[in-house]
Amino acid sequence: MFNKEKLAGRTSSSGRKLEKQEILALILGFFLILLVAIFTLTRSNQKIASEPQSIIIEPEEKAYAHKTINAKELHKKIIVENDTAGLALLDIRPFEAYAKEHIVGSINIVPEEFPENGKIDAHDHIIVISEKSTDPEVKNMLKKLKKEGFENVSVLAGGMEAWTAMAGITVTYGDPNSFVDQAKVSYVTQEKLNEAVEQKVPMFIIDVRSPEKFSNGHIPGAKNIPFEELEKRRKEITEKKVVVVGNNELEEFQASVQMYDMLLVSPYVLKGGMPKWLENRFPIEK
């Protein structure tokens, strides 16, 4: 026969053991669920971080989005192919930087002075040039161009820094105190030039004064290409030896350096300029 008291004791002991096992199982299950949840959340965050984030373009930035042209492409077009038709190179740097060095054929208009009537055709493809393409002035000029109705606009990628790094051809107005610039030009006296004119020696004389001053009297046989039009009309300079005549020697010198830089001509500066020629009462024609 079974002892009821012993059986009851054993049953009670077994029940306590079962309760402990169930509690341990619950605790273990809870930790497993927690681990799975943490693992899943971590993977989810990693996936989100690894996915490329979409770029939100603000309305203002979208409004002034622009095309770019790199230095190599621009060099090929204006230097190699010599094709500048319908192209306007707009250098927006301060005049001092422009005068020191600029891309041949470019015109200088800073954002504060824009627009300047007549300098840019509405149908031109405008290339905006700055020191760096990220300069704040670029955005300012793009705003003004858009406001004035210019639609075909690009920015030189990397600006002048990219152009000079590529060894692109640049033009300077010339510094009379620079040995390098002085080496680019020669000088001719008033008497020597007058003698050549009287003997009808074939030569190419360019008068860089304004059309008005030119029409009032110029050296016989001279061709009028105003200073500010030299780069735009450089194709008209067909001779390698050129005598440059202007309002004064400084203007002649700067024009001569420009021509040397863009065409590798051998320019001669007329000592004393056109005022001295008129003072000497040497021959003129109108």
CA–CA dist 48, 54 (Å, integer)? 12
The answer to whether residue 44 is domain-embedded is no
> pLDDT tens digit string along 228-277?
999 989 989 999 899 999 999 999 999 999 999 988 888 999 999 999 99
Last residue of a domain, one of 171, 195, 226: 171
Statement to judge: residues 202 and 107 lie in one domain: no
CATH of the domain at 129: 3.40.250.10
Q: Residue 221 in contact with residue 197, Cβ under 8 Å?
A: yes
Statement to judge: residues 184 and 266 lie in one domain: yes
Instruction: Tell me the pLDDT band of 47, cut-offs 50, 70 and 90.
Output: very low
Q: Residue 223 in contact with residue 204, Cβ under 8 Å?
A: yes
Predicted pLDDT at 155: 96
For 273, the domain range is 179-279
What SS3 state is found at 187? strand
| DSSP per-residue letters across 202-266 | --EEEE-S-HHHHHT-B-TT-EE--GGGTTTTGGG---SEEEEE-SSHHHHHHHHHHHHHHH--E
Q: Which residue has the tokens 């203007």?
A: 251
The answer to whether residue 42 is domain-embedded is no
Statement to judge: residues 65 and 159 lie in one domain: yes
Statement to judge: residues 160 and 69 lie in one domain: yes
- Taking alpha carbons only, the member of 216, 223, 262, 259 closest to residue 241 is 259
> pLDDT tens digit string along 173-211?
999 999 999 999 999 999 999 999 999 999 999 999 999
Statement to judge: residues 67 and 151 lie in one domain: yes
pLDDT over 50 at 224, yes or no: yes
- Residue 47: CA atoms inside 13 Å, Cβ hemisphere, count? 6
> pLDDT tens digit string along 134-153?
999 999 999 999 998 888 99
- The torsion angle over the Cα atoms of residues 228, 234, 239 and 240, rounded to 10 degrees, is 80
- Taking alpha carbons only, the member of 150, 155, 163, 106 closest to residue 135 is 155
Distances (CA, A) of 145 to 6, 90, 117, 273: 103, 11, 13, 39
Statement to judge: residues 160 and 183 lie in one domain: no
Counted domains in the chain:
2
Predicted pLDDT at 14: 47
Other CB atoms closer than 10 Å to residue 207's CB: what's the count? 25
Last residue of a domain, one of 171, 200, 218: 171
Predicted pLDDT at 23: 62
Give the residue-averaged pLDDT of 74-93: 89
The answer to whether residue 77 is domain-embedded is yes
Statement to judge: residues 150 and 195 lie in one domain: no
Q: Is 242 exposed, middle or buried (0-12, 13-18, 19+ CB in 10 A)?
A: buried
Statement to judge: residues 187 and 150 lie in one domain: no
